[in-house]
């Protein structure tokens, strides 16, 4: 299934004067006129930045924290743009934000992760955008729910906004990890599969929460063919009022970009394409074989299920499962496959086998729902 979005390509709404792909950079928050304007000048000087971002209204988890400088910041953005020529981008979360930002001549708007989760908020923003020709970027929702992201993009697109992009900023997760927000790349790939023409911009700052990991995530995003990066940059990150740990100086940003390897999604060289084609053919054949073998395996699982049913044996025998896991993981590791990958793969296959055998045991009763793996 493909989404029915009416989209204009990125180059119709932003001049990629800087690097290819697009780079949007600027402080997490506009704090003072000097901080914003001075940061903008340094960013413009790198020659790599296509637009200046700055949070004017900040969604904060706890009240009493700095909630953004408010409307006065829009005047500073105007000055930064007049002096540097950089188009400007801000987050909007209410109809009033949209109206004020547009009145102040902001060039690009974005919907934040905490707004995307709420269809009422997104609809309010969409209604305020009706009849306006302005580019809008929609961040993924805080929680890993592709439908909410898609729904927000649809609401904005239905309001007539065709200069549309998604921002991948990672997802909140209960488990502790090296990242502030888990990238969960498969969700961004899921969106790309549903809407191949929708530009996706990666936000490594909010994914990592850590300036040392920004280069790593940026490279990965580019390797997955994302069309741009939004990176927080502050003239002096150590004293930033918000998100200090993840901001980089304009000079550090420039280094991060210089160290990226910019690959192309397609090549024109016939010899390179032929080789790729041949390797892809090999992959196709192996995938066909894997599916055939999985189907064969499942037929045997069914036979075992029937046998267990006839002999009143439980579906799960923990010892047997443990033996399978240990043996296979050992074998896989010897063949240079990662143990973690092999374990996940076996667990997925095992859970499907259990589902199948449960169905056989309970034939004639209501079908078992597919259950989610605890490890998936």
| Chain residues that interact with ligand PEP, rule: CB under 6 A | 28, 55, 59, 91, 112-114, 139, 169, 206
- Range 234-253, binding Mn ion (CB under 5 A): 243
| In contact, 200 and 164? CB cutoff 8 Å | no
Tell me the C-alpha distance between 342 and 71, whole Å.
53
CB of 203 to ligand PEP, least distance (A): 6
Residues 6+ apart with CB under 8 A from 347: 373, 375, 376
203 binds Mn ion (CB under 5 A): no
Tell me the C-alpha distance between 237 and 260, whole Å.
22
CB of 232 to Mn ion, least distance (A): 6
Binding range to Mn ion, per CB under 5 A, among 22-30, 127-135, 138-146, 328-336: 22-30
Tell me the C-alpha distance between 312 and 309, whole Å.
5
CB of 112 to ligand PEP, least distance (A): 3
Q: Which is nearer to Mn ion, 28 or 191 (CB)?
A: 28
Binding range to Mn ion, per CB under 5 A, among 27-35, 40-48, 291-299, 338-346: 27-35
Q: Residue 124 binds what, of Mn ion, ligand PEP, none (CB under 5 to 8 Å, by partner type)?
A: none
First to last CA, the chain: 24
Count of chain residues binding Mn ion (CB under 5 A): 2
Q: Residue 73 binds what, of Mn ion, ligand PEP, none (CB under 5 to 8 Å, by partner type)?
A: none
Residue 147, by phi and psi: left (phi above 0), alpha (psi -120 to 50) or beta?
Answer: alpha
CB of 83 to Mn ion, least distance (A): 24
CB of 299 to ligand PEP, least distance (A): 47
Q: Which is nearer to ligand PEP, 122 or 329 (CB)?
A: 122
Q: Residue 113 binds what, of ligand PEP, Mn ion, none (CB under 5 to 8 Å, by partner type)?
A: ligand PEP
Q: Which is nearer to ligand PEP, 190 or 209 (CB)?
A: 209
Structure letter (DSSP) for residue 29? B
| In contact, 95 and 121? CB cutoff 8 Å | no
Q: Which is nearer to ligand PEP, 91 or 107 (CB)?
A: 91
Return the beta strands (E) in 130-236 as ranges: 136-139, 164-168, 200-202, 228-232
Helix (H, G, I), strand (E, B) or coil at 156: helix
| In contact, 53 and 26? CB cutoff 8 Å | yes
Q: Which is nearer to ligand PEP, 155 or 169 (CB)?
A: 169
Q: Which is nearer to Mn ion, 53 or 356 (CB)?
A: 53
CB of 28 to Mn ion, least distance (A): 3
Residues 6+ apart with CB under 8 A from 50: 14, 15, 16, 17, 18, 19, 22, 23, 24, 86, 87, 228
Q: Which is nearer to ligand PEP, 126 or 329 (CB)?
A: 126
Tell me the C-alpha distance between 241 and 372, whole Å.
41
28 binds Mn ion (CB under 5 A): yes
Q: Which is nearer to ligand PEP, 163 or 234 (CB)?
A: 234
Tell me the C-alpha distance between 280 and 287, whole Å.
10
124 binds Mn ion (CB under 5 A): no
Instruction: Name the residue among 203, 232, 169, 207 with its Cα closest to residue 35.
Output: 232
Q: Residue 112 binds what, of ligand PEP, Mn ion, none (CB under 5 to 8 Å, by partner type)?
A: ligand PEP
Closest residue to Mn ion: CB criterion: 28
Q: Which is nearer to Mn ion, 28 or 217 (CB)?
A: 28
CB of 55 to ligand PEP, least distance (A): 5
Q: Residue 163 binds what, of Mn ion, ligand PEP, none (CB under 5 to 8 Å, by partner type)?
A: none
| Helical residues (DSSP H) of 118-200, grouped into ranges | 119-129, 146-158, 185-194
Instruction: Name the residue among 196, 135, 139 with its Cα closest to residue 160.
Output: 135
Task: Retrieve residue 161's tokens.
Answer: 């906004």
The site for Mn ion (CB under 5 A) is made up of 28, 243
């Amino acid at each position: 299934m493909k989404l029915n979005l009416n989209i204009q390509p990125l180059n119709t709404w932003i001049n990629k004067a800087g690097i290819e792909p697009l780079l949007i950079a600027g402080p997490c928050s506009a704090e003072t006129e000097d901080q914003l304007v001075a940061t903008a000048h340094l960013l413009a000087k790198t020659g790599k930045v296509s637009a200046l971002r700055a949070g004017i209204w900040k969604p904060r988890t706890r009240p009493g924290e700095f909630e953004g400088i408010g409307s006065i910041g829009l005047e500073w953005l105007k000055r930064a743009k007049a002096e540097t020529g950089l188009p400007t981008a801000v987050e909007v979360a209410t109809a009033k934000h949209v109206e004020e930002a547009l009145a102040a001549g902001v060039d690009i708007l974005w919907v934040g992760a905490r707004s995307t989760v709420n269809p009422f908020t997104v609809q309010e923003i969409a209604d305020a955008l009706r009849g306006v020709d302005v580019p809008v970027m929609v961040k993924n929702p805080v929680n890993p729910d592709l439908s909410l992201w898609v729904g927000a993009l649809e609401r904005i697109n239905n309001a007539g906004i065709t200069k549309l992009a998604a921002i991948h900023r990672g997802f909140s997760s209960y488990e502790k990890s090296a990242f502030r927000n888990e990238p969960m790349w498969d969700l961004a790939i899921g969106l790309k599969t549903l809407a191949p023409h929708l530009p996706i911009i990666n936000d490594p700052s909010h994914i990592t929460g850590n300036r040392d990991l920004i280069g790593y995530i940026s490279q990965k995003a580019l390797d997955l063919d994302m069309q741009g990066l939004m990176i927080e940059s502050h003239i002096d990150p150590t004293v930033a009022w918000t998100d200090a740990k993840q901001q980089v100086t304009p000079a550090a940003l420039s280094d991060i970009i210089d160290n990226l390897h910019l690959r192309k999604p397609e090549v024109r060289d016939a010899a390179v394409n032929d080789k790729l084609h041949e390797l892809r053919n090999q992959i196709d054949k192996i995938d066909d074989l894997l599916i055939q073998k999985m189907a064969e395996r499942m037929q045997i699982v069914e036979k075992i299920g029937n046998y267990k049913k006839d002999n009143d044996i439980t579906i799960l025998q923990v010892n047997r499962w443990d033996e399978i896991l240990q043996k296979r993981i050992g074998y896989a590791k010897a063949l240079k496959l990662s143990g973690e990958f092999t374990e996940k793969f076996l667990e997925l296959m095992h859970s499907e086998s259990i589902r199948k055998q449960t169905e056989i045991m309970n034939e004639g009763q209501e079908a078992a729902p597919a259950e989610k793996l605890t490890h998936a």
